[in-house]
Amino acid sequence: MPDLTVSLGKLVLKNPVMPASGCFGYGEEYAPFYDLSSLGAIVVKGTTAKPWQGNAPQRIVETPAGMLNAIGLQNPGVVAAKAKISQLLRYRTPVIVNVSGHSIEEYKKVISVLEEENTVAAYEINISCPNVKAGGMTFGTDPDIVNKLITALRPLTEKTLIVKLSPNVTDITEIAVAAESAGADALSLINTLVGMAIDIEKKRPVLANITGGLSGPAVKPVALRMVWQVTDAVNIPVIGMGGISSAEDAVEFILAGATAVAIGAANFVNPTVCPEVVAGIEEYLSSYNYTSVREIVGLAKRTVNTQS
């Protein structure tokens, strides 16, 4: 059997597959379908210092080959989330908490509260949040602000700090390098791409928020390109995501340079997609006689370099 273990900083995962934040809740809806211990990690939804109500409905719309969401990071706040996170410990798989906030202080608060107990394996810092102190622009679009945020969070924890990058920028490698130089142990990408849909009967945007984040198969080629570019620009591991719905998709991301993968919207279509992707990666490795998944990380780059 090929070795599926991978490392993200200090964190060792039994396999490289995890659900993407916001698409798996706290795992409750998926636990009846399969043993959640089979996941490389469980990534919980965006967690903020205080409860967030999220945006007004309509918040979701299906699009060709994907979906738009404008949930607005609805969550019960870190204190209530802590109890839900503790429930996940019985699955004997690392729990990664996605952290969101409107200011550096809010991000700090979430990590400080969670650090009071030793339940979280790693933090994934969502920098696609509106920064109230910078007039509502998102944290993730300015490398200086990303550097400031991660520099402020780094001393709060020794756990693996993952920075989740937004694709809604001109040059994602600039943001990746800023996060790495501030002390990030790993990066995850991509978050959703800003888009919109119009109801032609009502003659108005479908989403109450007007715009939403596009995810699903439609974004896969963009995500793959960004994983390729970012893994050329940094020396820390990358969790690739965006449109993965099969083992073949996951293998593409790993060959492009991702050390691990996350699966979001596909869970809504097929609740057992994550364990199916684990099994499919294993089968792929066996069929080519690889002994470890680590052997194929970035392999497509080596092929290109050999040919040129």
Contacting positions for ligand FMN (CB under 6 A):
20-23, 45-46, 69, 71, 73, 98, 126, 164, 191-192, 215-216, 219, 241-244, 263-266
Distance (Å, whole) CA 65 – CA 214: 10
Task: Please list the active-site residues.
Answer: 129
User: 234 vs 244, which CB is nearer to ligand FMN?
Assistant: 244
Handedness of CA 72, 61, 193, 240 (dihedral sign): positive
Q: Kindly tell me which of 137 and 304 has the beta carbon lying closer to ligand FMN.
A: 137
Minimum CB separation of residue 75 from ligand FMN in Å reads 7
Task: DSSP for 150-203, please give it.
Answer: HHHHGGG-SSEEEEEPPS-SS-HHHHHHHHHHTT-SEEEE--PEEE--EETTTT
How far apart are CB 38 and ligand FMN at their closest, in Å?
Answer: 18
Q: Which residue is nearest to ligand FMN (CB)?
A: 22
| Nearest distance, CB of residue 63 and ligand FMN, angstroms | 11
- Of the pair 84, 164, the CB lying nearest ligand FMN is at 164
CA distance 276 to 245: 10
Yes or no: say if 297 and 259 are a contact pair by the CB < 8 Å rule: yes
State the Cα–Cα distance between residues 249 and 244, nearest whole angstrom.
5
| Closest CB to ligand FMN among residues 108, 164 | 164
Can you give the length of the chain in residues? Answer: 308
CB of 83 to ligand FMN, least distance (A): 18
